[in-house]
Chains A and B, each alone.
Chain A
Amino acid sequence: MDPIIASYLPSLFMGTTITLSVALVSLAIASVLGLAGAMARLSSVAWIRRVATAYTTIVRGVPDLVLMLLLYFGGQRALNAILAACCPGTTVDLDPFIAGTLTIGFVYGAYLGETFRGAYLAIPSGQVEAARACGMRETQVFRRVTGPLMLRHALPALSNNWLVMLKSTAIISVIGLPDLMQRASQAAGATRQPFVFYALAALVYLAITTVSELVLRALQSRLRTSALEVHL
């Protein structure tokens, strides 16, 4: 391999770990928001349902890049305005990792909310009734019965969302986080070999999505067979 290209591989590897951690942290945020969103959509209180509907509508109608720039620049301004009010003279820079993961988590939380809601509605009501009849408390019903069943129903859509989310983490490079994309840009600029480095970055993304897909497919078929055994 060309020694110049090889000298940038450690940097690209570091960028890949950042991309993966952005994706995993965003997934955690999205799962929490998604569960909350699903519960809100299923709520019997009208205004809570309306807030949840507004959340999904906004996320589906506005590009994630715009939301990210809004949160990054707007959040910074708001933070500094608060700081200026309480302790004058201090300023703070919002971390692109925080702004980025919050945005991606917020966006995919809306999609996961729809996924979880569908998964919850797919659970036969007899399962919940049986659990209650056994004397389980509501938290126990969720942990032992509805939670695991929901996960099983949600897994196909969850896998799909993970893949889309993983790819959309690339936009974090726009607000300056040194992820895989940003490192590829640095190398491309320094070596004047943009095609090589962007193609390399593409290959890394492709490898991550391929491995994710294989793992998730294996997981899905595993859970499917055990589901069959339960029904038999």
Chain B
Amino acid sequence: MNPDLLLDNAGLFGRAILVTLGLLAASLLAGGALALPLAVLRNSRRPWISGTIWCFTYIIRGTPLLVQLFVVYYGLAQFEGVRASLLWPALKSAWVCAVLAMAINTCAYTTEMIAGAIRALPTGEIEAAHAIGMSAWQRLHRVILPLALRRSIPAYSNEAVMMLHGTSLASVVTLVDITGAARDVNSRYYLPFESFLTAAVLYLSITFVLLAGFRRAEKRWLAPLKARA
């Protein structure tokens, strides 16, 4: 082990941590925001609505994230129409493509997760909302979503950790995230243990912080629900 090397590259790893956290936050926020309405519609009584969303989640859940990333990053550029469009300056950027691919990926898993939580809600709570005369919209945002989201916290913490691991693929499309920085250092000095063990420790620490955060969220929002039941 060579501690000087790590000190020399502290700035590189510091920036890399920010890139990883930025990728994670952006894709979780975008994917999660899109997953909310999709999860509600996934339980629609109209088969063409729920079926279309099932189709989307099935395709995304059945293919590797790496393939999805390559379809977005390399694949879209094949089309003249995409390259001529106003979105091209954004789609040329590896960061935008990585966030897009990861947001779509996490959106599919989160949609199924929340949709499952909605289906599993105790019918009594929804009947009670009906009985006191709430409209469909009121039932949704006062009863169904708050209860379903709280019950999804434990499963969502797994999804967030999986996405953290997923961000490491961004290094394959030239982004210098934690994995990218480690690959950089390794190829410059040929010191695989120093560089990749550093990356591993950084990821492990971020995972612990994430899990601690989710445990607090569970205590705050999920535990009271259980106590009452």
Contact = CB atoms under 8 A, between A and B. Distances in A.
Contact of B64 (A63, A77, A168): A168
A199 B75 contact: yes
Nearest to A19: B64
A121 to B, nearest CB: 19
Contacts of B70: 181, 184-185, 188, 194, 198
B183 A63 contact: no
Given A63-B203, A67-B200, A181-B64, A192 B168 contact: no
9 contacts: A58-B200, A58-B204, A63-B179, A70-B197, A73-B186, A167-B63, A184-B67, A194-B70, A206-B59
Nearest to B20: A63
Interface string B70-101: 11001111110000000000000000000000
Contacts of A171: 64, 66, 169
Interface string A61-83: 11111110110011011000000
A78 to B, nearest CB: 8
Contacts of B79: 195
A170 B192 contact: no
Contacts of B65: 167, 170
B67 A174 contact: no
B5 to A, nearest CB: 15
B182 A69 contact: yes
Contact of B168 (A61, A65, A199, A202): A65
Interface in B160-196: 161, 164-169, 171-172, 178-179, 182-183, 186, 190, 192-193, 196
Given A74-B196, A202-B71, A65 B169 contact: yes
A167 B64 contact: yes
Interface residues of B, number: 41
Counting chain A CB atoms within 10 Å of each CB, which of B67, B76, B171, B208 scores highest?
A: B67
Interface string B94-127: 0000000000000000000000000000000000
Chain A's interface size range is: 35 or more
Contact of A170 (B67, B74, B77, B203): B67
B62 interface: yes
Contact of A206 (B62, B161, B183): B62
Counting chain B CB atoms within 10 Å of each CB, which of A69, A167, A174, A205 scores highest?
A: A69
A143 interface: no
B207 interface: yes
B199 interface: yes
Contact of A70 (B62, B78, B178, B193): B193
B68 interface: yes
Contacts of B186: 69, 73
A187 B199 CA distance: 32
Nearest 4 Cβ contacts at the A-B interface: A73-B192, A195-B75, A170-B64, A70-B196
Interface string B37-68: 00000000000000000000001001111111
A123 interface: no
A64 B191 CA distance: 19
Nearest to B161: A60
A74 B67 contact: no
A60 B206 CA distance: 12
Contacts of B76: 195
B200 A194 contact: no
